[in-house]
Amino acid sequence: MLMRSAMAMASALPLLLLVLLLIPFAAALSKPPAQYQYHTLRATPLSHEPIAQVDAESIFGADLAALFDDAGNSSTVRLQLAHREAFSPPNATAPQILAHRLARDAARAWAISTAAAAGATNGTRALTRRRGGGGFAAPVVSGLSQGSGEYFAQVGVGTPPTPALLVLDTGSDVVWLQCAPCRHCYAQSGKVFDPRGSRSYAAVPCAAPLCRRLDSGGCNRRRGSCLYQVAYGDGSVTAGDLATETLSFARGARVPRVAIGCGHDNEGLFVAAAGLLGLGRGRLSLPTQVARRYGHSFSYCLIDRTSSLKPSSTRSSTLTFGAATATATARASFTPMVRNPRMSTFYYVRVVGFSVGGARVRGVSERDLRLDPATGRGGVILDSGTSVTRLARPVYKALREAFRAAAAATGGGLRPSPGGFSLFDTCYDLGGRRVVKVPTLSVHLAGGAAVALPPENYLIPVDTRGTFCFALAGTDGAVSILGNIQQQGFRVVFDGDAQRVGLVPKSC
């Protein structure tokens, strides 16, 4: 009997030890989740009222030409910026504009991803003969009301200067605008530039080095002048003459002999803008062309995309070249600028991870976001022309699940909304709420910096009922894109000398 009891105790001993070992583990599982960190978000839905139409004069001031009249030699050039949606089509409502904007944004993101995978060049195409020191800055406004996520810069073109709104685009190189006479031109805000009235306009000869900077420059043999063509991911195309011209900026800064495309055939979704300001890394981009005089750095700050819809708010910010950009570097969080030899236009940056609610997102590493220079695949592009940040699918899924978990921990403060909206798959019903707690979201850059995003940069209203969506999306392409919604409110510094990109919060 005693022997039998001893044997029973011996056989039960391993089970007892296992129970003792599991007790701490079970206790750990029963503990409440880690304390999340939150922001406060104003839960203001989109308006159902038609957006009031505005034009360039109401955004930048009535006397646009006077902005460029002073013949100054400023050490800094400033261009005002505005979001494209500030220029409203008749009777358009905010939800309609957002839906159209996301459709255009998806086309652009797809084109970038496809081009990166294929190792494409900067988009210029060959044409056959066609029938018929310091610095400067420009104002920038939002293009929201046109259904685009782009921003416009105000520039003076020619002598005397014709004011022109140009789309701010770090994802392309050629600077171009619509020119008279037009064979095909879309409706734009302001006067179409007529090179026949400019004393500084000069056509570029076919044999000139500037013409050879195009991927394959075309030639009008009858006139002996260079032709250009650029096609964009949304199907838009511009074509015409390559020329040199004087560009004028705020406070009298003028830059002579800038290579521009004078577009006589322009088709697509360039509503309201006069053309495009190419800020990429290629040989014909504006930063490359002005580097000898103003240095290899520039910066911009993108205001809230809805600022043009709020009469009491600031409607514009600035794009800056030269000395003023240097002053922004002291407070910037920098990460190395990476070059893709197969895609020389884009600004690749080193992102190593994300945090949600103050905790690092598991399952996301630098390897998932790294560019492979040998193949040109992967990596993260910083792009002013793409609205919604796209992340490689595995990265996005991990980030989304972390955000959902942190949102659920609010105890019902963020009520999930069934379904999604366009490309957004994580939405919340904030109807009837004035303010809500929102999990924090930070982007971790190589070098140790963590950039904390304001809540308005990642949880945005999509309708009049109070539905807000997580404003990031996944992509099946290898390349990820940091879009301009997430860049709002930061001064983004492109330091070409040190080959780095920096972000300065609250700098518009």
pLDDT tens by residue, 324-378:
777 777 778 899 999 998 888 999 999 999 999 999 999 998 899 999 988 889 9
DSSP code for 449: -
Number of H helices, E strands in the chain: 8, 33
The pTM of the whole model exceeds 0.85: no
The torsion defined by the Cα of 487, 492, 494 and 498, in degrees rounded to 10, comes to -110
Q: Is the pLDDT of residue 118 over 70?
A: no
Considering only residues 272 and 6, tell me which one the structure prediction assigns the higher pLDDT.
272
pLDDT at 202: 98
Residue tagged active-site, from 173, 241, 383, 463: 383
pLDDT at 278: 95
- What angle (nearest 5°) sits at the alpha carbon of residue 425, between those of residues 423 and 429? 115
Task: Look up residue 74 and give its DSSP letter.
Answer: -
Query: Which range, of 89-103, 219-233, 235-249, averages the lowest pLDDT?
Result: 89-103
Mean local confidence (pLDDT), 38-48: 81
Catalytic one of 169, 173, 215, 495:
169
Query: What pLDDT is attached to residue 411?
Result: 73
Interior angle at CA 150, CA 144 and CA 156, nearest 5 = 105
Check if 69 is active-site: no
Instruction: Report residue 224: phi and psi, to 5°.
Output: 70, 25
Question: Residues of the chain with pLDDT > 90: what percent?
Answer: 48
Residue 450 confidence (pLDDT) above 60: yes
Question: Which of 233, 237, 284 shows the shortest CA–CA distance to 264?
Answer: 237
pLDDT, the chain, mean = 80
Residue with tokens 């929102």: 438
Q: pLDDT per residue over 254-268, tens digit each?
A: 999 999 999 999 988
pLDDT given at position 298:
93
Which pLDDT band, with edges at 50, 70 and 90, does 53 fall under? low
**Half-sphere exposure at residue 453, Cβ-oriented, CA atoms within 13 angstroms:** 30
Which span out of 42-46, 198-202, 321-325 was modeled with the highest average pLDDT?
Answer: 198-202
207 compared with 317, residue with greater pLDDT: 207
Nearest to 241 by CA among 274, 270, 215, 219: 219
Catalytic site includes residue 383: yes
